[in-house]
Amino acid sequence: SFDKIVNKFEYSLVKFDVGFPTGDKHKNFGRVAAQISEVDNLFMGEVRVKDYGDKVNIEMADRFNVDKDKKTLPETILFTTEDGTLTEVARYGGDYSVDNLRLFIASKSGVYLKLEGCIKEMDTLADKFSRATSKEDREKVLFAAESWAKEKGEDALVYVKIMKAALETGKEGV
């Protein structure tokens, strides 16, 4: 059933963990999973590995070269099925804060993870603005942002205000 599930998504973040996980790592992984539940091409799941009693998911851990020692778990792996086969993209090695897990997913997959109050199109323009190398290029992006802000309303105006401030005073002024 593992393959059936992950093959339905472009990306899957799977946490291999002890049989009964507790603590901040487990809670934060769950928080991120709840936050991204509406992202269509991303799955987050957990494989609980039990090395006692009814040994469960040992073969799954072996399949992906996950150390089953409780001291090394959790081990979190980002997979993709982009080319039609399940492929490992990266293993997570940071702390399990919500922000760092989200950053890992977004940076390794390219999947947009919306934060509350953010607008995807405006985030894209803000990124282009920050990468622009000339004042002329930043002005073009600002013009596009102003057009979008007229459609998107008051939340989008915050982006325009920040871009204008950065254009007038430089990045240091923001």
Angle, helices 24-35/98-109, rounded to nearest 10 degrees: 50
Q: What is the pLDDT along the chain (174 residues), one digit of tens a residue?
A: 898 999 999 999 999 998 888 889 999 999 999 988 888 899 999 999 987 878 889 999 999 999 988 888 999 999 999 888 999 999 998 899 998 999 899 889 988 887 777 888 888 888 889 888 888 899 899 999 998 888 877 778 888 899 988 888 875 545
pLDDT of residue 27: 95
Q: Give 64-76 as a DSSP string.
A: TT----TTT--EE
pLDDT of residue 88: 94
pLDDT of residue 171: 58
Angle at 66 between CA 65 and CA 68, to 5 degrees: 130
Token pair of 120, please? 């995807």
Angle, helices 120-131/154-169, rounded to nearest 10 degrees: 10
pLDDT of residue 173: 47
